[in-house]
């Protein structure tokens, strides 16, 4: 049962990045404009999409899990600080806390490993 729970946890944690990255592709121009409005160069959007899609998939399948979690955790903290730091707006404060919670889950996953039902387990890369 623990194996299935680990897999479900990775799926739930990774899917938010996978879907966010895919949605940025379909809403590319709007996302780039939003980034620019927040002081982030829109030219970084392709790198963000690659990180979210590939990082999300890596977490889901448990491939190079530690490094994927480190990269996504750093990205999530930076995104929170840039896009959700207006604590006067309750929704932004909630989004900031959500990002911090996701970061916590990623850091726990990075230390405990992806579990038995993962590529890492099959290749001996814990």
> Residue 126: inside a domain, yes or no?
no
- Model pLDDT, residue 45: 98
Average pLDDT of span 27-47: 97
Q: How does residue 85 score in pLDDT terms, banded at 50, 70 and 90?
A: very high
Judge contact between 2 and 106, C-beta under 8 A.
no
Residue 123 has pLDDT above 80, yes or no: yes
Residue 27: per-residue pLDDT: 97
Average pLDDT over every residue of 42-48: 98
- Residue 12 in any domain: the answer is yes
Domain that holds residue 62: 2-114
What is the band of 110 on the pLDDT scale with cuts at 50, 70, 90?
Answer: very high
Distance (Å, whole) CA 46 – CA 28: 9
- From the DSSP assignment, how many helices (H) and strands (E) are in the chain? 6, 0
Over residues 78-98, mean pLDDT: 97
Number of structural domains found in the chain = 1
Which pLDDT band, with edges at 50, 70 and 90, does 22 fall under? very high
Rounded CA-CA distance 94/55 in Å is 23
Q: Are 116 and 63 in contact (CB under 8 A)?
A: no
Q: Does residue 123 sit within a domain?
A: no
**pLDDT the model gives residue 125:** 79
Is 54 inside a domain boundary? yes
Helix (H), strand (E) at residue 71: helix 65-83
Q: Is 15 helix (H, G, I), strand (E, B) or coil?
A: helix
């Amino acid at each position: 049962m623990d194996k299935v729970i680990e897999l479900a946890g990775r799926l739930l944690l990774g899917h938010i990045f996978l879907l966010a990255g895919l949605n940025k592709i379909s809403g590319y121009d709007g996302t780039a404009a939003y980034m620019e409005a927040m002081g982030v160069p829109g030219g970084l959007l392709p790198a963000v999409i690659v990180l979210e899609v590939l990082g999300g998939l890596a977490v889901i399948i448990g491939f190079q899990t530690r490094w994927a979690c480190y990269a996504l955790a750093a990205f999530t903290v930076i995104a929170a600080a840039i896009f959700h730091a207006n604590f006067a707006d309750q929704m932004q404060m909630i989004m900031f806390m959500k990002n911090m919670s996701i970061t916590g889950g990623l850091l726990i996953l990075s230390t405990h490993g992806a579990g038995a039902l993962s590529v890492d387990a099959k290749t001996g890369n814990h």
